[in-house]
Structure 1
Amino acid sequence: MNNYGRLALILAAISLSLTFFFPLWTIILEAPQYPEGIEMYIWINKITGSSEYTLQNVNILNHYIGMKPIHPDSIPELKYFPWIAGGMIALAIIFAAIGNIWLARIWGSIMFVLAFLGLYDFYLWEYDYGHNLDPNAPISIPGMTYQPPFIGTKYLLNFVATSLPNVGGFALGAAWVFGVITWHHFFKRTVRIGAAMAGAAAAAAAMLASCSTGPQQIAYGEDLCAYCEMTITDSRFGSEHVTDKGRIYKFDSIECMADYANEQNATGAFYVTCFDKPNELQNADNCSFVISKQIPSPMGGFISAYDTEPKAISVVEQAGGELLNWKALRERRL
């Protein structure tokens, strides 16, 4: 084995060791009674939350819709996952010391299979909790299921579930990438380590991109407004709020987002679609807004956005109305 194979194993061992110090996954539940959200962290050996009452609050929500309570002690994976990870770390160090390339490739193959099985097990866990419901629950809707999303955000009745990998999850992904690198030279012996590391960097960049704090494209005709729960249909008025933690809320109109922001005292970034540029989200702080009875909007606020003040002034001159910036518009909606 050359030094690059040893380096891949050592980096894989370091990456796996991070799973003992950081959560693998984060699940966030937001409901009217918990507007700030309940954050649940899934570690390699435990389940915690943003407060000491997180699991209690999650189980209260689960009770109303018939989901089983979450008891970490009853989840066997939390008992044997640390042993599996510890064993893989030890093998990576031992195989790196021995220096046999085929041992490194065996390690990479095992890591590949374990990563797949771990993700599949997580999916089954979510499926079980979301589908095996108590028919005698206070809220029981025939045919309704509550499986959280594997990755992303999903609306479940009147609450929102968001599921994203945490630092430990990305570290596990990095260990998988380094495991793949151990096989790289078997198929392309002439490729230098720079190309392999570039591939690892690209994979890491892709994973980080999935947690981007920028706006997301609105799926018109499919996405629901986070405030009024109506389907978002008009591409001239779609709006988004990106919280300080990167969570995204979509709205069918500027007035819905402004009312939501005022009621929740929301911070973060706000994006609006300019009336003359459908499907293009822009930062609300950089836009000008017109309230005019001649320009109806989805929820009756008569609010439209424009990317420059001269455009907005021209609209006011032609259609009449009031010109405001984002801060003034929020104050106007109070």
Structure 2
Amino acid sequence: MKPKNILSYTIGLISLLFLSVQACNSSAGPKPIRYGQDQCAYCKMTVSDARFGTQLVTKKGRAYNFDDVQCMIAFVKEGTVKRDDVAGFYLPDYSNDNELLPAEKMLLLKSESLKSPMRGNIAAFATEKDLAQARAQHTGDVLTWDDLWK
């Protein structure tokens, strides 16, 4: 091989390796939930309300969907998936198109007026402003992610 061909071959191989690593890393993020079709991994009800549908993704990349954050917590507490095997927990941003975001970064509001599917009645918010606006409408208690595990 000529030096120019070796360089091209090496660059191509490195690029392929980089893309492969990126593909593996992307498996840890949230997967789309098919509302109205996917079942809650804990209670087996159809996940139908995007404001409350949650997800955990294992370190192996398997996604489990839940219709309520309380189902997700119970699923892990019962040991179906060990907490150490979870790559990420994701909650929907109640105020912004229900985008699934890392649970540890979310601000939580528990209010009886939220009426989530399994009556956990907990909504997640990405910002203090959104939480304050929701709290003005739905009086309730502000919680942290760690509070849910107690």
TM category, shorter: 0.7 to 0.9
Q: Which residue of 1 aligns with 2:130?
A: 311
Q: Which residue of 2 aligns with 1:290?
A: 109
Q: 1:205 Cα deviation (Å)? A: 4.3
- 1:208-235 CA deviation, whole Å, 9 max, x = no partner? 35x6222212122222111111121211
Amino acid at match of 1:201: L
SS at match of 2:78: helix
- 1:201-260 CA deviation, whole Å, 9 max, x = no partner? 366346535x62222121222221111111212111111112344332111121211222
Structure 1 residues 45-194: aligned runs within 5 Å: 192-193=8-9
Higher helix content, 1 or 2: 1
Q: 1:195 to 1:244 in 2, by over 3 A?
A: closer
Kindly report the root-mean-square deviation, in angstroms, between the aligned alpha carbons of the 2 structures: 2.7
Query: Is the aligned partner of 1:208 residue 2:27?
Result: no
Q: Give the length in aligned residue pairs.
A: 144
Structure 1 residues 177-326: aligned runs within 5 Å: 192-193=8-9, 196-197=12-13, 200-201=16-17, 204-205=20-21, 208=24, 212-264=27-79, 266-267=83-84, 268=86, 269-326=88-145
Amino acid at match of 1:314: Q
Structure 2, unmatched stretches of 5+, are none
Q: 1:309 to 1:199 in 2, by over 3 A?
A: closer
Q: Looking at both structures, which has the greater relative contact order when contacts are Cα pairs under 8 Å and sequence separation is at least 6?
A: 2
Contact 2:35-2:48 within 8 A present in 1 as well: yes
CA distance, structure 2, for counterparts of residue 281 and residue 263 of structure 1 = 23
Work out the percentage of aligned pairs sharing the same amino acid: 34
If the length of structure 2 is used for normalisation, what is the TM-score? 0.78
Q: 1:195 to 1:235 in 2, by over 3 A?
A: same
Structure 1, unmatched stretches of 5+, are 8-191
Larger Rg: 1
Q: 1:207 to 1:308 in 2, by over 3 A?
A: closer
